[in-house]
Structure 1
């Protein structure tokens, strides 16, 4: 019997992963809106999130969650962190026992500060939990550019089976048992990307932006290790690779948020104008709670949190680091 995959979430990345899986195995994508499911089935497009791109003709979509999930051999969760638990609880009513659950979400749960695989273990105990992460920009993958990703799970047998589903010539998938490191890196890189975007919006030079990205990697690594991640993970695809792509690409939602903040827009204005979720905004709040809990200093994340949640400006965050501002680098300025 061939493996059947269900992907929950019709956003840009969920749709892209469903497109990839459908080239290997029967795949169904669950979308909240009937119109989107009909569009994918009839036109093989998702114009709201992926305008101008065509999806694999074998990909099927439905707005009926039970129809998508009940026969799945692998459940892929592609919803934002804020709705992850509720969506998974709905899936729990239909998913068969022991089916592996693969998270695509790069964020942390508000309130509980849990990683997404921890949420999976709470909602669906007994189901193998895994995460797919790395420097993966949806539109580049759809256009056929080469990319690499990591599947992290402690169960090597499950990891190898999931790898077979998603690995292709131009989409290379590697296996890493360090789930903690991969998930922490995926969440924190979004916060650092907001900081990098601020540099763009403020007109700071590439030297400044490179310093912020590099010191951001140090922050990501320190917190990740304190939480139990392995140091090598943070210099790999899930860490440095994803961080570079997210901080540098014009397609990055979190970098875009930072850029708009740097141009003087408020966080409310930026979010209201966006079509998709930028995980780094909410994650910055959780990260500061983790910073306190683990006793790890995260100056860059602290500045991003201040801009997103405490009324500070991007100019405040970059004080002493951009032309026209007097003074040296302060202890609590963005780069240190």
Structure 2
């Protein structure tokens, strides 16, 4: 039976996931807050700000009216920026409640909410009443939208406390170029998804400063150790961090020039100010807000995260990048494990 799916967020990842679902036979509605973007998508079937030189299927319809976009759907996929997820979820919740409708919720955003330090599944569960949601799942893994749209081989994970829902979502997305694995470790998948953006910022900065592969490998490896420490302190399975949503996502995000977090870090390493980088990017750089949230959370949790701390001080305290790297390299020696 064909499923009705609303994809909320028409950025690069949201529009490409809408395309995957459409190719697999679902009826897809793509929502954006931007009326001009919606009009352009419906008229030309393109989304040039986010995905260049690609024409989307005419069977995908874009919506500006949120109520119309989610009316009667089976699934709602959130792919809006982390820091607006709560406000969009609140609007969705009111519509679902008014229409006495229950749906399966998925999110594919990657971040931690500032100030509350909540993972996005927690934000969604707070805002959408249990009677209006059948499940909440997260889709994550090493997946640059620009590569998925060309049908490059891509493997991701769907994690949920509801394994029936996870299996159904696996079937919705899986095809001969987009392979989906299931997991019950929502905590680990969400922490891996969010915190790898911090490491990508650092990797881009190293490149901008002229450092090479040895430095990049060191950052990625020790960065993964930090992510694992924080995630497992909340009950995540440590094995999740050596999987697709852990090391897999770090590899692609910290090495790909398509990664906006890597590109932002690269510009910082070349001497651009954070304000200029954000302005030039023209799109949300999830790692910037996530760095602050993760830094503050690690302090509250008592988890040592020296790389995250260093990037935080560069972003928010104006610390000199080269001096910060020197401080990291001259820390007291210790065992690698433990």
Query: Fold match, TM over 0.5?
Result: yes
Q: Which runs of 5+ in 1 are unaligned?
A: 322-328
Q: Which residue matches 1:52?
A: 53
Q: 1:134 aligned to 2:141?
A: yes
Q: Name which of 300, 308, 312 aligns with 1:305.
A: 312
- The CA RMSD measured in Å over matched residues stands at 1.6
Q: Which residue matches 1:324?
A: none
Offset at residue 280 of structure 1 (A): 0.7
Q: Name which of 173, 180, 184 aligns with 1:177.
A: 184
Please list, as runs of the form range in 1=range in 2, the aligned pairs for 1:9-48 lying within 5 A after superposition. Answer: 9-23=9-23, 24-48=25-49
Paired residue secondary structure (2:303):
coil
Q: Name which of 220, 225, 231 aligns with 1:224.
A: 231
Paired residue secondary structure (2:272):
coil
Please list, as runs of the form range in 1=range in 2, the aligned pairs for 1:1-336 lying within 5 A after superposition. Answer: 2-23=2-23, 24-95=25-96, 97-126=101-130, 127=133, 128-319=135-326, 329-331=329-331
The superposition leaves residues 301-334 of structure 1 with CA deviations (integer Å, 9 ceiling, x where unpaired) of 001100111111222222278xxxxxxx22189x
Q: How many residues align?
A: 327
**Contact 1:227–1:294 at 8 Å: present in 2 too?**
no
Offset at residue 56 of structure 1 (A): 2.2
The superposition leaves residues 244-287 of structure 1 with CA deviations (integer Å, 9 ceiling, x where unpaired) of 00000000111111111110111111111112111111111111
Q: Which runs of 5+ in 2 are unaligned?
A: none
Offset at residue 64 of structure 1 (A): 0.9
Distance 1:227 1:153, change over 3 A: same
Distance in 2 (alpha carbons) for counterparts of 1:2 and 1:314: 52
**Contact 2:93–2:129 at 8 Å: present in 1 too?**
no
Offset at residue 40 of structure 1 (A): 1.9
